[in-house]
Amino acid sequence: MTTKKQIIEEIFKICKINDNFEFDNELVKSVVEKCGSTTNPYDVTKIDDLSKLPNAVVGEDYFIAHLGNGKHKFLRGVNNIYHTFEKIDNCEIIEWQYKPSILNDFSTSESSILSLINNQGILRDFLYKDHSFNNNSIIKMYNSERKRNVSFEYYIGKDKLESRNLQIEIDLTLENKGYITIFEGKNAKLKSWVENFNLYQLYNPFRYYYELKQKNELNITKLTACYLIRRKNKGSSIVRLYNYTFENPLDMTSIKLLEKKEYCLKKKDFNDG
């Protein structure tokens, strides 16, 4: 079976031969068909972490940038676009007691993980505990959304790019008194953590709301982007949260960590106090 890595590597070879590193979904489809693969061609260019990029591409310091309208481009600067998660210190690890509902472990999708963490009060604790919000204030929660036809100009370091008609996936959005946080949720493999992530996962949703703020369509007082990773552990879960902003909203590489924590969920029996 042809792997996603092999398909990307073949596309990279074609681009090198043609001396043109910009390509479109039609080329992706043709390579997928040529390889006899059942891989979804629209999923090929979505490389969420560095381990999914072929060694031949990484070795020459290239990554894939999304230009919109079904177009993509190999650019140099892998370390500019893949951000390594910061180390969680011992003082940032919290044991979180909770009473599970019957649905907690029924689904392991990203959306169900985000719902679980929100329902247990962890997102309120992580985002708003150190802010001047009333503990009884209502946090507005907006589930998985897909935004279409999103366009903007941006930088990846010194490279200026133009995205046209992007489709953006937002796993979750929380809002409290103008403080908006968008979320990307991921499941980690058993006994291991995701080590890095592609900045576009947080930047594109962040930039979507930033544009609305600039156009005075939304009164946003604060805008952040949070990456949530959940790993199952002995019938329960460990959750890591990393909340970021982009110091220069026009530059994808200007990411800055605001806060990080790890929550070790400990189940309490329904009969406990």
228-267: pLDDT as tens digits: 999 887 777 899 999 999 999 999 999 999 999 999 988 7
Q: In what order do the strands lie in the sheet with 236-246?
A: 93-98, 255-267, 236-246, 222-233, 179-187, 172-176, 140-142
- Domain match, 155 and 42 both: no
Nearest one of 27, 138, 221 to 10, comparing CA atoms? 27
Sign of CA dihedral 47, 170, 162, 166: positive
- Domain match, 99 and 78 both: no
Pick the range with the lowest mean pLDDT from 26-30, 106-110, 243-247, 261-265. Answer: 106-110
Task: Evaluate if residue 104 carries a pLDDT over 70.
Answer: no
CA atoms of 246 and 229, how far apart (whole Å): 20
- Domain match, 42 and 174 both: no
Nearest one of 239, 173, 231, 165 to 202, comparing CA atoms? 173
- Domain match, 12 and 92 both: no
- Domain match, 44 and 159 both: no
Cα Rg of the chain (Å, integer): 20
Provide the domain count of the chain.
2
Long-range CB contacts (within 8 A, 24+) of 90-94: 92/260, 92/261, 92/262, 93/261, 93/262, 93/264, 94/125, 94/261, 94/262, 94/263, 94/264
CA atoms of 254 and 120, how far apart (whole Å): 32
Q: Provide the token pair at 88.
A: 């969680």
31: containing domain: 4-82
- For 104-143, where are the E strands, in sequence order? 140-142
Tell me whether strands 196-198 and 172-176 are parallel, antiparallel or unpaired. unpaired
Task: Evaluate if residue 60 carries a pLDDT over 90.
Answer: yes
- Domain match, 61 and 132 both: no
Q: What is the overall mean pLDDT for the chain? A: 89
Q: Which of 33, 51, 82 is the last residue of a domain?
A: 82
Residue 273 lies in a domain: no
Contact assessment for residue 170 and residue 123, using Cβ atoms and an 8 Å cutoff: no
Residue 256 CA to its chain's centroid (Å): 15
Return the percent helix, strand and coil in the chain, to nearest 5. Answer: 25, 40, 35
Q: Once rounded to an integer, what is the mean pLDDT over residues 18-47?
A: 93
What confidence tier does 227 reach under pLDDT thresholds 50, 70, 90? very high
Q: Which of 36, 66, 82 is the last residue of a domain?
A: 82
Task: Evaluate if residue 270 carries a pLDDT over 60.
Answer: no
Pick the range with the lowest mean pLDDT from 22-31, 106-115, 245-254. Answer: 106-115
Nearest one of 170, 237, 232 to 202, comparing CA atoms? 170
- Domain match, 73 and 99 both: no
